[in-house]
Amino acid sequence: MGSLLNIRVLILLLLTLVTGAAAGAGSGKIVCWKDKTGKTIGCGDSIPPEYQDNASTELNKRGVTIKKTEPAPTAEQQKAMQLELEQKQEEQRKQEEQRRKDKALLDTFTTPQEIDLKRDRDLQLAQSNLELLQTNSKNTNAHLAELQSHVDSYTKANKPVPQYLQDDFDETSAEKTKADQQIAAKQQEIADIKQHYSDLKQRFIQLTGSSPQTAK
Q: In sequence order, what are the residues at sequence separation of 6 or more whose Cβ sits closer than 8 angstroms to the Cβ of residue 27? A: 60, 61
Q: How far apart (Å, rounded) are the C-alpha atoms in residues 12 and 43?
A: 7
Given a contact cutoff of 8 angstroms between Cβ atoms, the answer to whether 16 and 30 are in contact is: yes
For 51-93, the pLDDT digits (tens) are: 888 888 888 877 788 888 888 787 888 899 899 999 999 999 9
Q: Which among 62, 4, 52, 6 has a CA at the least distance from the CA of 30?
A: 62
pLDDT(17) > 80? no
pLDDT(214) > 90? no
The whole-number average pLDDT for the span 177-187 is 97
pLDDT confidence of residue 65: 82
**pTM of the prediction?**
0.60
pLDDT(167) > 90? yes
The rounded Cα 158 to chain-centroid distance in angstroms is 62
Q: How many CB atoms lie within 10 A of CB 45?
A: 14
For 150-166, the pLDDT digits (tens) are: 999 999 999 999 999 99
Question: Per-residue b/e over 111-135, b at no fewer than 16 CB within 10 Å?
Answer: ebeebbeebeebbeebeeebeebee
Mean confidence (pLDDT) of the chain: 86
Higher per-residue pLDDT: 136 or 25: 136
Q: Where are the alpha helices (DSSP H) in the chain?
A: 2-23, 75-108, 112-156, 163-208
Of the chain, the percentage scoring pLDDT greater than 70 comes to 84
Q: Which among 78, 107, 105, 116 has a CA at the least distance from the CA of 204?
A: 105
